[in-house]
Amino acid sequence: MEYRELGISGVKISVVTFGAWAIGGFMWGGTDDAAAINAIHKAIDLGITGIDTAPAYGDGHSERVVGRAIVNRRDKVQILTKFGLERDSKEGTFFFETLDTDGKPVKTYYNARKKRVIAECEESLKRLGTDYIDLYQHHWPDPGTPIEETFEAVDRLLKDGKIRAAGVSNYSPQQMDAARKIVPLASAQPPYSMVKRGAEGDVLPYCIKNRIDVVVYSPLQRGLLTGKIKADRKFPNTDDRSGDAFFKPENLKRVHEFLGKIRPIADAHKATLAQMVINWTIQRPGITAALVGARNPKQVEENAGATNFKLTGEEVKQIDKLLEDLKLEV
């Protein structure tokens, strides 16, 4: 496993980092805590030391599961969590509504006011069972709160030793400029995959120029690029993929055709499609690490195996050429 430092923070994470969204159950149709804990233990054993979570993933459930999993293992991991979203807020700005794991409507709000950020950090520390967070990231920009106010709170947390480094998620370059006036940014976390490469337009060039490390999320496009989801797959209404345009039958069909064309490259490395996609991702210019979700130890083993080989320059060119011809309706 390879490890890379986030900015000049001193925080190093594994290039394949454990994404803990799914284990929270929220928008993923349920979870199995025992399997999730075993998955985290397997990840640590295999050198995947970065664990990315957030309070929004199941109203704190993902953080609680991570906290249980790292008992007596805190010194072996780097905890990346987030702030700035809450349920049923009395002062926040409405973000979206979805269904909870029990099928009940849940409203999520932006709230990155200074007082809330300080309080939310304490709540996360308690759920995680630790006295510091390695990387604290603003989950989504809050249209109701000036970025400067939000990062004044982050600056206080840094000075108090509650967090080791600060990052942002889903931020534009202009928003990162505002945050950097208050505190150094160690990282940015945009969505990025073979089929969703908008970050290449502005975020990645900005981060490269300003020495901000990039930890991308959804590199497998929520399972789409594993080749395991068939065109007739039906998702429950508690799984957000049920309404995701990437999972429309026509897109599933086109992606399967594309994956069939690149499968021989994976076979040449004795790798799975998912491993090849992850390997391609962590080789992209400006990308430091990829967050890859797992619900059980078997999935973790597959993810970790993505670092056991390296695609050649010619193979990357072949994949990129085929991607140019892949047209999805999203």
**Measured distance CA(29)–CA(27) in Å, rounded:** 6
> H or E segment at 250?
helix 249-268
Mean pLDDT of the chain: 93
pLDDT at 246 over 90: no
The confidence score (pLDDT) of residue 184 equals: 97
Least confident of 57-61, 170-174, 214-218: 57-61
Mean pLDDT of 25-31: 68
Query: What is the topology classification, in CATH, of domain 3-222+274-310?
Result: TIM Barrel (3.20.20)
User: What count of residues does the chain have?
Assistant: 330
- Catalytic one among 57, 136, 206, 217? 57
Q: Report the pLDDT averaged over residues 216-235.
A: 86
pLDDT at res. 327: 86
Dist. CA 84–CA 184, nearest whole Å: 18
Q: What is the pLDDT of residue 241?
A: 76
Q: What is the pLDDT of residues 161-185, one digit of tens each?
A: 999 999 999 999 999 999 999 999 9
Among residues 97, 106, 61, 100, which one has the least CA distance to residue 81?
A: 61
Nearest to 154 by CA among 110, 189, 185: 185
Mind listing the pLDDT tens digit for each residue in 9-21?
Answer: 999 999 999 999 9
CB neighbour class for 215 (10 Å; exposed up to 12, middle 13-18, buried from 19): buried
What pLDDT is recorded for position 110? 95
- The pLDDT, as a whole number, for residue 233 is 76
In the predicted model, is pLDDT for residue 234 greater than 80?
A: no
For residue 237, pLDDT over 80 is answered with no
Q: What pLDDT, in 10s, does the model give residues 98-139?
A: 777 677 888 999 999 999 999 999 999 999 999 999 999 999
* pLDDT over 70 (residue 198): yes
Cβ pair 11, 167 in contact under 8 A: no
* 109 in catalytic set: no
Domain boundaries, the chain: 3-222+274-310
